[in-house]
């Protein structure tokens, strides 16, 4: 509070805490949970980086429990990964339907018969600009 130019007395009155309680909290050493979370966060970041950023909470938890023999719960790994801004890679991309304006139109009106050569050029399912096979229908 004092670092943000708010007087301590005013801030304590707004937050409804005592001034002596604020100073006692400020001078207190970090708790065991805070120390353990900082240690676990370092381990989680290391495991996540060793996996090239692909492991999610489940695999990080399995690596800590089975690979490094660290007793930690799955929920704690999820919480600490979320706080550290870490996330695993999701599954494979799903197939998505093309937008209607990207679907090829029938430029020959399904009329494939011609009377002579070089009157109709048809390609396979590749786009016309590709270097796919071009067949001459005669």
Could you tell me if 88 and 54 are in contact, meaning their C-beta atoms sit under 8 angstroms apart?
yes
Q: Where are the domains of the chain?
A: 1-29, 31-90, 104-138
Mean model confidence pLDDT for the chain: 83
pTM above 0.75, yes or no: no
Residue 134 has pLDDT above 80, yes or no: no
pLDDT at 126: 53
Residue 57 has pLDDT above 80, yes or no: yes
- Going by the DSSP 8-state scheme, the letter that residue 118 receives in this structure is T
Q: In this predicted model, which residue has the larger pLDDT, 72 or 114?
A: 72
Rg of the chain taking only CA atoms, in angstroms: 32
């Amino acid at each position: 509070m004092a670092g943000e130019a708010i007087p301590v007395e005013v801030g304590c009155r707004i937050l409804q805490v005592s001034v002596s309680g604020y100073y006692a909290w400020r001078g207190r050493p970090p708790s065991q949970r805070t120390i353990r979370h900082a240690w676990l966060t370092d381990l989680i970041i290391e495991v996540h980086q060793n996996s090239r950023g692909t492991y999610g909470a489940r695999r990080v938890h399995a690596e800590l429990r089975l690979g490094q023999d660290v007793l930690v719960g799955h929920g704690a790994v999820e919480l600490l990964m979320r706080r550290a801004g870490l996330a695993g890679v999701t599954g494979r991309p799903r197939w998505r339907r093309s937008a209607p304006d990207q679907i090829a139109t029938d430029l020959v009106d399904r009329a494939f018969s011609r009377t002579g050569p070089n009157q109709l050029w048809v390609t396979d399912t590749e786009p016309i600009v590709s270097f796919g096979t071009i067949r001459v229908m005669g």
